[in-house]
Structure 1
Amino acid sequence: MALSLLAAPGLRAQEPRFGDENIAVSLFADGAPQAGEEWMLALQFRPSGPEWHGYYANPGDAGQGMDLTLDLPDGWTMGEPIYPVPERLVIAGLMNHIYEGEYTVLVPVRVGADASALGRAPLSGFVTYLACTDRICVPQDARLEARQGGDFARWRAEVAPLLDREGGFEVIGETLRIAIPLPADLALGDPHVFLREDDLGGGARVDYAAPQRFLRKGNLLVAEIPLAGDGSGEGGIASLSGIIGFGDGQGLRFEAAPQAIPLDGAVPLPSDAALPSLWLLLAAAFAGGLLLNIMPCVFPILSLKALALARAGGDETAARRDALAYTAGVVLACAGLGALVMALRAAGQQVGWAFQLQEPGVVLALFALTAAITANFSGLFELPGFAISGQGSSTGGSFATGLLAALVATPCTGPFMALALGAALVLAPMEGMAIFAALGLGLALPFLVIGFVPAIRRLLPRPGPWLERFRRWMALPMGLTVAALGWLVWRLGGWPFLALAVLVAILVVAGAIVLLGRRSRFGWAALAAALVLGWWSASQPVAREVTASESLLDPQPFSQAALAEARASGRPVFVWFTADWCVTCKVNESVAIEREATRAAFEKAGVVSLRGDWTRRDEAIASFLADQGAAGVPLYLWYPPGSEARQLPQVLTPEALPALARAAPPAP
């Protein structure tokens, strides 16, 4: 009697408190246990209605996994439960890993040396779990007794089978990278990784609601999963497991060990959203390149290029050769920049379109180059045969002008380019290169037409004394470009870096003046000094942080954690990505974002604003842009309460944002 009284509290603790009314559970056994072998059990869950759902072992941002204990004899051990492929459910910005409808979890048990240790009594156990709808959650529990029967053949086919090869994983900054061994010809459908572990150690936790990025590297599928922490602390986990789902309930279980995962040769997979046809993407890139011809940073060069073609007069062959050389330069520059971006991304670098303007050395070189062009427009020196001199151009000069025009057009993007350039970075390399080449062809088209259609060339003004005056006037917009680049140099490196950039520019201009004035020795010396000083300046580490400019919207700095917190608040969220070198970004900010009407509408609707500044390279921002299918900035996202992102156009109208805020539901 005394022993019974001592055991009673433990027995009462294993009795059900909540029951299994909403999702009933039963325990089945596959035959009789055999000594030293694996004995398979099955937990069958049956919801009482279609509104109820259960959870995977790792429920995601919310919910609760199953907790199972079995009353096993000594020497018997329970293995890890084996789950079917879960589904994704996003509520108010929180990702849940769930099962809708009836589902079964297999539980392997390793039988001890004595298979008869159970005796005649059935195996018993206790399970606690959670039953939820979209609005409420109810705890469930049940006392279990195993019975023979059940459709084990079907249940084994429904759970995710285990891969026979181990994968690898590593934490890089705020990204978890997992390499899963899968045949290169396996159809992936809509891939998504469901991790079994929630805490990765070292302060790193998975950001479940963030988009996952996938790359193919031969017979490896590489998944990049954003984290809510950088994992820089101590105590990282020694192994990782989970399920890679392909959609429609299909998937595989995997296990992974820590290892380095280089991405050289890896090819990004397209995002979940279906991409338009290649022909439509080529047309969008071509139209975007065509519109670049009217951008303020490119217009001075192109105006003088048109006048240089006009100087060709009636020489049909020279005009066509000149137009083809210019086109070759533009297309080669666009394709070369695109190939460099794709190669760097394949090597694991998080870069995007116009990435070179995030490098202080490149900006310094552009500052010196545009200063020299301004001096050329002002008449301080002439470059024989070079198109921007306003004189009749040579084939080599036209080719160089094409390279220059494409380079200075890089920071400008238009309404057609976002989809095309984003797709170019996830398509096969040849298709991506075709898109970049189409962009260059669109930029070069006006001069192809002028060069090959004499009737259009005859419409251009006749050369005369006014041409020289016009060229000098073109020094004004190019000088403004120099001022803008000087401001960017200061933003990147502060006053010392700007002083060095000005000195390099002076040496370049002085060298050109002296050299073209036929005092070659001093000219070459000045250019050599500019080269050495520029190289030394660019090689110095620039520790200055680019501070975000003031904004009427008072935005928070962008991070995955800040975005998840903002979406969980139940309020509308506006996220914009910008950079100091992005012309379109600055125009949109002055026209549509930094307006009193926008601020008032956002304040009334309770909109949460986040800003990602990509002036300097930032892997977290670059990864997020890639997940959104964007090759660069600007990118504008609007999150209605409880809904996924709506991507806004790259060119915003003054009323675009206030209209979205007025249409949002009242803030809680």
Structure 2
Amino acid sequence: MGAILLLWLALAGVQVTAQPAQHIQASLYAQSEAPKPGEKTRLAIRMIPEQGWHGYWINPGDSGLSVDAEWHLPEGVHAGPLEHPAPALLELAGLASYVHEGAFSLLADLEIDDSIVPGTSLPISVDLSWLACSDALCVPERATLQLALTTGDGAASPEHRSLFSAAEAALPSVAAQGSLRAADSRWSFVISGAEGLDANRALLFPQESGWFEAGARQHVTRQPDGTIKVEVAAAGPAPAAPFAGVMADGHRSVAITNVKLDLAENPLAIAESESAPDAAAPAESIPAAMASPDPATPTTGDMPALWVALAGAVLGGLLLNLMPCVFPILSLKALSLTKAGVDRRAAKVEGIAYFAGSVATTFALGAILVSARLLGHDIGWSFQLQNPHIILLLMLLSLAIALNLAGLFEIRGISIAHRAMAAPGWPGAFGTGALAALIATPCSGPFMGVALGAALVLPAPEALTVFAGLGIGMALPFLAIAFIPALQRLLPKPGAWMETFRRMLALPMLLTTIGLAWVLGRQSGVDGLSLGLLLSALAGVGLWWAGLRQNRGRSAGAALLPVAAALLLAVGLDLPRPALAAPSNADANVEPFSEERLAELQTEGQPVFVDMTADWCLVCQVNQRVAIDRPDTRAAFEKGGVVTLVGDWTQGDPAITRFLASRGRNSIPYYLFVTPSGEVRELPQILTSDLLVRQTISSSGPSY
């Protein structure tokens, strides 16, 4: 059953990670739908951002990524580079970027070989990737655009004439030339052919980085001979490539080519450029909105940071063994090693197999998450639990484990009953390790938040190492018991009490089943919960029948047909997805989370408590009851004027996923406290009422 569920998780991961609505919509057009062989036609990629969002120019400046195009063209068809309109300068949070504000069009030449006969079908496809940013957030986005052209007479399409006319007009006119000198660590550009520009508003935009900082102040003056002179502090020695760029005043723009470089007045620049031509090229920066606020957040290729993240994952996995859904499995598996007949070699085999099953499961879940993120999807840890089908499957699985622990039936090989676990061999131990890791995925706790958040910034191999570390932590206790006889001797001696203990452990598994049923009801409403209970009853009857047949010494195969039917229905039926209820109206200062609302409250100087939660998150629900929803906490929040913004991740929300990513996280719970002065304090994953009250008092000052 563990293997079946893992396969379904992989399939469900595809469903859950469906591409969210993009912040910049892209579309592809052809100037002629019947391009003529031996000639060129134009292609236009139209980019339309949402209000408040922008894309990036060829050189993004201090941060950002330009549009990247990978063309898929028939033989004999070639596409030229993308041509951008002039950019604008955007300065935000100490960073300066070259951006496209508002809708913009990118043009490219499409050349058709004259060997292609008229009437030939030309399927055109392009894979685009770009970075869409607002003032607070950056999101990598992708799209695949397609056109179906047929070679013909090259006549322009009348319906697209205005689009291409406007796009051509927005391109810089290729009319300017220039000369460049270096003196006193400053560049001096003299540009001719730019007579139509307003020198008071014009700025120079280099096509390649390394000439000067994007935010450097430019001194622009109109010379008596009509040329424009631009003086700006150099970022370092001259880059190896010749200067090319654009000068724009917000209305008109010119492309600058044929720039003559004169370094005679600055011998130091010559020596530097010859000895270290790449010294001035700045490292490609991460967009500010995507960077973690924590300076300790690991960066790409940072091996010490990888070890810190791995240690956090291992410690977090160790703590998961204390969860009520995992502890019964680990306890019985450990006690099975005390039974007579289990020699040291068999114990080691089972320990390694349990270890392998746990690590394989967390590695597989991590691989799905990392792969989806590389494809541009916004998901985080426990992404599968945002799908009600997965909750229903886990609910049936927890019920089966509870009935198994209660002695209602036995399953040979991968049963967690102590008789099956005592049998030599590795399949049962591997399945048990996989089962424990799988059923622990709703949980998060100390050390896990930062560790799993590292997957956002570490390269894929290192990120997968962190996810494997989570499985290692979960498996370490049993592995230690399996390999260290002294630990085995500390365990209670086997006896009749083990059967009673086994039945007692059915209780936390039944509580887990009830908790999952509650989550299913929250995700799918009364109809979904009713269906889940019906399927649970069907599976329960099948397992009871299987137990009866086993007690009579008969095969249980036929009795498992109702169980198989329940699983198939759980996978195949269309479960309702009602809108989640808004936060409780019991407190007028509790609102749904949005980045816009958070920024608005910060501007107003309002203290804010950000609560990122989900119904399936056990730690979140515990924190809600023992810390957040307490009379003293509510009284402190009311007196301090604290507004609580609740981000509900139960069914998945790309906006919440992106916000967590911008904070270097991909799991919950996650809590922030914003003071009236705008200071953002990150709170631990385990909350207490005293902690929240102290945060409120310390941020409110003497007036509290």
What TM-score, normalized to structure 2? 0.60
1:373 and 2:401 matched: yes
Q: Is the 8 A contact 1:82 1:107 kept in 2?
A: no
Which of 455, 466, 470 is 1:435 aligned to? Answer: 466
Distance 1:124 1:557 in 2: 47
Which of 314, 328, 336 is 1:300 aligned to? Answer: 328
* Correspondence for 1:654: 689
Shift of the alpha carbon at 1:94? 8.7
Distance 1:531 1:164, change over 3 A: farther
Distance 1:446 1:552, change over 3 A: farther
1:576 and 2:604 matched: no
* Correspondence for 1:496: 527
1:17-28 correspondence runs (5 A): none
Distance 1:124 1:426, change over 3 A: closer
Distance 1:553 1:599 in 2: 11
Q: What amino acid maps onto 2:657 in structure 1?
A: A
Distance 2:504 2:322 in 1: 17
* Correspondence for 2:672: 637
Q: Where does the alignment leave 5 or more consecutive residues of structure 2 unmatched?
A: 1-60, 62-84, 97-133, 137-185, 203-220, 247-277
Shift of the alpha carbon at 1:162? 12
Shift of the alpha carbon at 1:85? 7.1
* Correspondence for 1:508: 539
Shift of the alpha carbon at 1:508? 2.5
Shift of the alpha carbon at 1:306? 1.6
Shift of the alpha carbon at 1:432? 0.9
1:558 and 2:589 matched: no
* Correspondence for 1:38: none
1:88 and 2:124 matched: no
Distance 1:387 1:81, change over 3 A: closer
Distance 1:378 1:190 in 2: 57
* Correspondence for 1:282: 310
Distance 1:334 1:404, change over 3 A: same
Q: What amino acid maps onto 1:455 in structure 2?
A: A
Post-superposition Cα deviations, 1:259-314, rounded to whole Å, max 9, x if no partner, equal xxxxxxxxxx9679x99622221111111111111112211212211222222555
* Correspondence for 1:350: 378
Post-superposition Cα deviations, 1:499-524, rounded to whole Å, max 9, x if no partner, equal 22122223323333434523546324
Q: What amino acid maps onto 1:486 in structure 2?
A: A
* Correspondence for 1:543: 577
* Correspondence for 1:529: 565
1:449 and 2:480 matched: yes
- SS of the equivalent of 2:567 reads helix
Larger displacement relative to structure 2 (586-595 or 637-646)? 637-646
Shift of the alpha carbon at 1:455? 1.8
Shift of the alpha carbon at 1:449? 1.0
* Correspondence for 2:652: 617
Distance 1:542 1:107 in 2: 66
Distance 2:243 2:92 in 1: 17
Distance 2:349 2:370 in 1: 31
* Correspondence for 1:335: 363
Cα-Cα RMSD: 4.2
- SS of the equivalent of 2:646 reads strand
Distance 1:392 1:364, change over 3 A: closer
1:220-369 correspondence runs (5 A): 277-311=305-339, 315-369=343-397
* Correspondence for 1:35: none
Q: Is the 8 A contact 2:583 2:591 kept in 1?
A: no
Post-superposition Cα deviations, 1:592-628, rounded to whole Å, max 9, x if no partner, equal 1111211222222222221100001110001111111
* Correspondence for 1:265: none
Q: Is the 8 A contact 2:382 2:441 kept in 1?
A: yes
Distance 2:199 2:556 in 1: 93
What TM-score, normalized to structure 1? 0.63
Distance 1:493 1:311 in 2: 45
* Correspondence for 1:595: 630
Distance 2:639 2:190 in 1: 54
Q: Is the 8 A contact 2:611 2:646 kept in 1?
A: yes
Shift of the alpha carbon at 1:152? 3.9
Post-superposition Cα deviations, 1:93-114, rounded to whole Å, max 9, x if no partner, equal 998xxxxxxx99999785569x
Which of 500, 513, 519 is 1:482 aligned to? Answer: 513
Distance 2:326 2:228 in 1: 73
1:628 and 2:634 matched: no
1:412 and 2:447 matched: no
Shift of the alpha carbon at 1:460? 1.4
State the aligned residue count: 473
Q: Is the 8 A contact 1:553 1:599 kept in 2?
A: no
Distance 1:316 1:610, change over 3 A: same
Distance 1:346 1:653, change over 3 A: same
Distance 2:439 2:189 in 1: 61
Q: Is the 8 A contact 1:285 1:417 kept in 2?
A: yes
Distance 2:509 2:468 in 1: 26
Distance 1:112 1:287, change over 3 A: closer
Distance 1:146 1:440, change over 3 A: same
Distance 2:508 2:611 in 1: 28
Q: Is the 8 A contact 1:573 1:608 kept in 2?
A: yes
Distance 2:334 2:611 in 1: 37
Q: What amino acid maps onto 1:335 in structure 2?
A: F
Shift of the alpha carbon at 1:84? 9.7
Distance 2:188 2:679 in 1: 31
Distance 1:163 1:306 in 2: 69
Shift of the alpha carbon at 1:383? 2.2
- SS of the equivalent of 1:525 reads helix
Larger displacement relative to structure 2 (518-527 or 394-403)? 518-527
- SS of the equivalent of 1:543 reads coil
- Percent identity between the aligned chains? 42
- SS of the equivalent of 1:650 reads coil
Q: Is the 8 A contact 2:583 2:592 kept in 1?
A: no
Distance 2:310 2:87 in 1: 49
Larger displacement relative to structure 2 (521-530 or 359-368)? 521-530
Q: Is the 8 A contact 1:369 1:505 kept in 2?
A: no
- SS of the equivalent of 1:430 reads helix
Q: What amino acid maps onto 1:529 in structure 2?
A: A
- SS of the equivalent of 1:493 reads helix
Q: Where does the alignment leave 5 or more consecutive residues of structure 1 unmatched?
A: 1-57, 59-78, 96-102, 114-122, 129-143, 167-182, 194-210, 215-268
Shift of the alpha carbon at 1:662? 0.4
Q: Is the 8 A contact 1:370 1:481 kept in 2?
A: yes
Shift of the alpha carbon at 1:478? 0.9
Distance 1:502 1:162, change over 3 A: farther
